[in-house]
Amino acid sequence: MQPLTFRQVDRDILRTMEPPGRLYYGLLALVLAVILWGVYAWWYQIQTGLAVAGLNNPVGWGAYITNFVFWVGIAHSGTLISAILYLFRARWRTAVYRSAEAMTVFAIMTAGLFPLIHLGRPWYFYWLLPYPNQRNLWPNFQSPLLWDVVAIGTYMTVSVTFFFIGLIPDLATARDQATGWRRLFYGILSLGWRGSDREWRHYRSGYLFFAALATPLVVSVHSVVSWDFAMSIVPGWHSTIFAPYFVAGAIHSGLAMVITILLPLRRIFRLEAYLLPRHFENLAKLIIVTGLIVGYAYLVEFFLAWYSGNVYEHAVFLDRATGHYAPEFWIMVTFNAVLPLLFFIRRVRTSPAWLVGISLGITIGMWFERFVIIVASLAHSYIPFSWGLYRPTWVELSITAGSFAWFLFWFLLFAKFLPSVSMTEVKEQIPEEAG
């Protein structure tokens, strides 16, 4: 294969931003239709009341909170790839990090909707924010739900800023090669970047510190989300392993989503020279690691329930594996902990079909993991008097489908308007003589 040149990188990546074909518009229309259906379901819920969701005593947290935790999890691998692997100088991240970071931003935009939807009366959302008011009432910062607001708000702000900072030099390249309204559009977005030595010096320093700040942040965010559960005394939730367990699960699902999205993107945009089989192999290896951690956490949960000698813990976990939610539980175990082990086989982790198949399996499995943790615990806490069952209604399922469409909608726009592979970082890795 010919070594890449700077000019060829520009040409190949900017080509992905040319006006799209019919397939793209068809996909966009489909996605918009599903979003509209989800919006209708939400509108119906606001009009009729939260009772149209399947939420009731004892299961007060259902599909909405499941979706919230799931989408926050999806948001995690983007920062892992862009910040943590940057600090480790893992050079293979270059080609995949832009899309992963975009995914982070869109996933957190999706996750942020669910607490609002779950509120029932979303217009009172501002009660969660600390603002001066006549009655001198302030939010209770001892509550994990408040930590969540602060953590998610911070994560959203920082990941959007990090994403944007990374884009600036590429946007300047796009500006200098574009004409008409696109030139103006990229000109404004690139902040007038010139590529001068002064700009580069401060930019690189800032980027390093962004990565250094984002790294502990990404670990903290899903830990805080896990404390929404672990701080309560519900059997099945009240556990000290929750923070690392949730963080590993988050990265597990996020990596699977990166593979699921990048493989088709590579095919459609013909980016084979940039997204190499080696990159996907490395992602699959990371999935093995997170899959093993998640599998270990599943075992430890059961061990703790047994070793604690607490009858309620016993009952909850026995019920998970054999009771009403057993199918969901076994989907979770098989798809998250067993299926990824196939990546130990080289032929599996180098085959696009297997990669996408297993990644889709993990995405489904991780959704069910959140569902099992949330619903199965609430449905079976303490004495039989407080047991009950929950099934999502059509409203909840429609909004869930809408959230997937909403996420894809933003990704489709991203793929056409912004460079989905970082031109600057790819160029940086081209040896001098080839440039």
Partner 1 sequence: MIRPGLVGIFADGAQAARAIAALRREGFEGFEVYGPVPHPAVEAALEAGVSPVRRYTLAGGILGCASGFALTIWTALQWNLVVSGKPVVALVPFVVIAFELTVLFGALATLLGVLVHARLPRLRPEVGQDPRFTGDRFGILVWCEGDRAAAAEVGLRRAGAEEVRSV
Q: Which residues contact partner 1 by CB under 8 A?
A: 5-7, 10, 130, 136-139, 141-142, 146-147, 150-151, 153-154, 157-158, 161-162, 165, 168-169, 172-173, 175-177, 191-206, 209-210, 213-214, 216-217, 220, 224, 424, 427-428, 432-433, 435
Question: Which of 202, 346 has the CB closer to partner 1?
Answer: 202
Distance, in Å, from the CA atom of 147 to the CA atom of 205, rounded to the nearest integer, reads: 30
In Å, how far are 238, 299, 313, 372 from 309, measured between CA atoms? 14, 16, 8, 22
Tell me the two tokens of residue 164: 């944007």
The least CB distance from residue 228 to partner 1, in Å, is 12
Alpha-carbon torsion (384, 386, 391, 394), positive or negative:
positive
Tell me the two tokens of residue 256: 């699977």
The least CB distance from residue 130 to partner 1, in Å, is 6
Task: Specify whether the CB–CB gap between 114 and 65 falls below 8 A.
Answer: yes
Question: Which of 349, 427 has the CB closer to partner 1?
Answer: 427
Question: Which of 187, 357 has the CB closer to partner 1?
Answer: 187
Distance, in Å, from the CA atom of 166 to the CA atom of 78, rounded to the nearest integer, reads: 13
The identity of residue 393, as a single letter, is T
Question: Which of 18, 433 has the CB closer to partner 1?
Answer: 433
Q: Give the number of other CB atoms < 10 A from CB of residue 355.
A: 24
Task: Specify whether the CB–CB gap between 336 and 329 falls below 8 A.
Answer: no
Place of tokens 């690189």: 204
The least CB distance from residue 204 to partner 1, in Å, is 6
Question: Which of 5, 308 has the CB closer to partner 1?
Answer: 5
Question: Which of 334, 429 has the CB closer to partner 1?
Answer: 429
The least CB distance from residue 194 to partner 1, in Å, is 6
Question: Which of 41, 172 has the CB closer to partner 1?
Answer: 172
The least CB distance from residue 86 to partner 1, in Å, is 14
The least CB distance from residue 129 to partner 1, in Å, is 11
The least CB distance from residue 143 to partner 1, in Å, is 8
Cis peptide before 216 (omega within 30 of 0): no
Alpha-carbon torsion (234, 239, 243, 245), positive or negative:
negative
Name the residue among 334, 249, 327 with its Cα closest to residue 290: 249
